[in-house]
A = this chain, B = another copy of it.
Amino acid sequence: MARLPVYLQILADQAAAGVANISSEGLAELAGVNAAKVRKDLSYLGSYGTRGVGYEVDYLVYQIRRELGLDHDWPVVIVGAGNLGQALAGYGGFTDRGFPVAGIVDIDHDKVDTLVGGARVRPLDELPQIVAAKNVSIGVIATPPAAAQDAADRLVKAGVTSILNFAPVVLSVPVGITIRKVDLAVELQILSYHEQRRASAQGGQLHAVPNEPGRGVTA
């Protein structure tokens, strides 16, 4: 389930805040989802909570980490040292959460040997060596669209089995390779879709409904 990381995030926060136990309802509230859903998700994990009390935060964190494979680090290699690649390499959030940057490569020789976020950019050709040396199984594609498929091919050939793709293209990879795509422009387009609907709804009805003052949690 794609919600486990969200729970994990919240639980880690709670643990840091000194909370020892949490109920499914409390966790649901914080995650902005239904309480029954939380229980189903956690029961699927096999993790046992205690009836009448709730879940022990530390134990739950341990269980989710284990399930997600976060009991050890997963080095990642970044292909493309442009704006986005540099930001990702420099973004502390990766290393902090168990995904150290094993290396960053670029095809442009002008970028090679420049320093970004503590790592030195290596030439694209060295990708296989980096993957082999650091035992990398996750690759990140931060190249322009036109170069993304080639980057994917090279990553797969080098032995990477999971790819996070930031380029706005649909990649074709052998079966057995896991791909996730994050397209920033698509996210904005979805927002603009909502804005559009908002605008036409207001234009359509004469008596526009003002935003209610209530607060809701939106994940």
* Contacts A68-B193, A185-B93, A195-B161; A213 near B168 (Cβ below 8 A): no
For residue A59, CB closer than 8 A to chain B, the reply is no
Question: Are B213 and A174 in contact, with the CB atoms below 8 A?
Answer: yes
Q: Chain A 98-120, CB within 8 Å of chain B: the 1/0 string? A: 11000000000000000001000
For residue A173, CB closer than 8 A to chain B, the reply is yes
Q: Chain A 133-154, CB within 8 Å of chain B: the 1/0 string? A: 0000110000000000000000
* Contacts A174-B215, A175-B211; A192 near B2 (Cβ below 8 A): no
Q: Which of A17-25, A36-44, A79-87, A122-130 contacts B (4 or more CB under 8 A)?
A: A79-87
Instruction: Report the bound CA distance from A188 to B186 in whole Å.
Output: 19
- Specify how many copies of this chain sit in the oligomer: 2
Question: Are B67 and A193 in contact, with the CB atoms below 8 A?
Answer: yes
**Which residues in B have their C-beta under 8 angstroms from that of A177?**
211, 218
Instruction: Report the bound CA distance from A212 to B173 in whole Å.
Output: 11
**Which residues in B have their C-beta under 8 angstroms from that of A74?**
188, 191-192, 195
Taking a contact as CB atoms closer than 8 A, the residue among B176, B189, B214 that contacts A212 in the complex is B176
Q: Which of A99, A180, A192 has the most CB of B within 10 A?
A: A192
For residue A217, CB closer than 8 A to chain B, the reply is yes
For residue A171, CB closer than 8 A to chain B, the reply is yes
For residue A62, CB closer than 8 A to chain B, the reply is no
**Which residues in B have their C-beta under 8 angstroms from that of A8?**
189
Question: Are A84 and B76 in contact, with the CB atoms below 8 A?
Answer: no
Q: Chain A 198-218, CB within 8 Å of chain B: the 1/0 string? A: 110000000000011111111
Q: Which of A175, A199, A218 has the most CB of B within 10 A?
A: A218
Question: Are A97 and B215 in contact, with the CB atoms below 8 A?
Answer: no
Taking a contact as CB atoms closer than 8 A, the residue among B2, B69, B191 that contacts A196 in the complex is B69
**Which residues in B have their C-beta under 8 angstroms from that of A168?**
9, 93
Give 8 closest A-B pairs by Cβ, nearest first: A69-B196, A87-B87, A176-B211, A162-B191, A5-B186, A179-B218, A5-B189, A178-B194
